[in-house]
Amino acid sequence: MLKIYGADLSSPSNKVRFTANALRAEYEYIKVSLMKGENRAEWFLKLHPAGKIPVIVDDDFILFESNAIIKYLAGKGKSTLYPEEIKKRALIDQWMDFIALHVNSAVSSVVYNRVFAPWIKTAVDENAVKTGVGFLGKFLPVVENQLAKNVHVTGECFTLADIALLAALDPVEVAEIDIKIYSNMTKWRDKLKQKDFYTRCHKDYADALNKMRTLA
């Protein structure tokens, strides 16, 4: 059976779970505690030499990096989430790269400094917050304009690009990032958060965070 190694508050991990759920794939979800340093344990470093999550093990095949993983899962399932037609696939790749470089990286920086740094009592980098918010102010309008023209990120069909964007934006409320000014993106996101592939992972990111804080 497919095994997914991840953490509940890891957007890249949730991206993989969203995809597996959308594909109706059977899998075992194995939580890796970053707080306890399980990602630096010898057994985990055999799966990912840099000690990062997520990682999948599919029989004897090991794969890390979330975008590579979800492309593999969708390709293996011959899913319309990542169609074989080269131009459609290229558009999905284009938007997944854009989301990774210009949305997820900025959101992650703000989330770390506004949520996790205070939690683990480490220094907050206000410059990183300012830069991240600035990046989002510059690049989220690009996504908003795309969703003004299309039902989904790359057109009429729901694809891996939508899953990548949904996962990237998942923590925005807990990090006090206001995206309600982007009406098309907000409607798109609210609709997808009601889907089974999302709710099978969690109610929402804030709920997952509150549960983790309760256990800490």
Task: Read off the pLDDT of residues 19-38 as tens digits, 9 standing for 90 and up.
Answer: 999 999 999 999 999 989 99
Which of these, 109, 138, 103, 140, lies nearest to 126 by C-alpha position? 109
Query: Taken in order 139, 20, 192, 146, is the CA torsion positive or negative?
Result: positive
Name the active-site residue from 10, 13, 66, 108.
Answer: 10
Helices and strands, number each (H, E), in the chain:
11, 4
Confidence of residue 173 (pLDDT cuts 50, 70, 90): very high
Is 10 designated active site?
Answer: yes
Q: CA angle, corner 10, sides to 97 and 164, nearest 5?
A: 30
Which of these, 200, 118, 194, 132, lies nearest to 168 by C-alpha position? 132
**3-state DSSP: the chain helix, strand, coil percent, rounded to 5?**
55, 10, 35
Domain 86-215 falls under CATH 1.20.1050.10? yes
The pLDDT of 79-92, averaged and rounded, is: 97
pLDDT score for 145: 98
| Residue 216: pLDDT over 70 | no
Which one of 3.40.50.150, 3.40.30.10, 1.20.1050.10, 3.40.1190.20 gives the CATH number of domain 2-76? 3.40.30.10
Domains of the chain, residue spans? 2-76, 86-215
Specify the DSSP element, H or E, that contains 63: strand 61-64
pLDDT score for 212: 87
Average pLDDT, rounded, for the chain: 96
pLDDT score for 47: 97
* For the chain, percent of residues with pLDDT exceeding 90: 96
Confidence of residue 215 (pLDDT cuts 50, 70, 90): confident
The pLDDT of 186-202, averaged and rounded, is: 98
The pLDDT of 198-207, averaged and rounded, is: 96
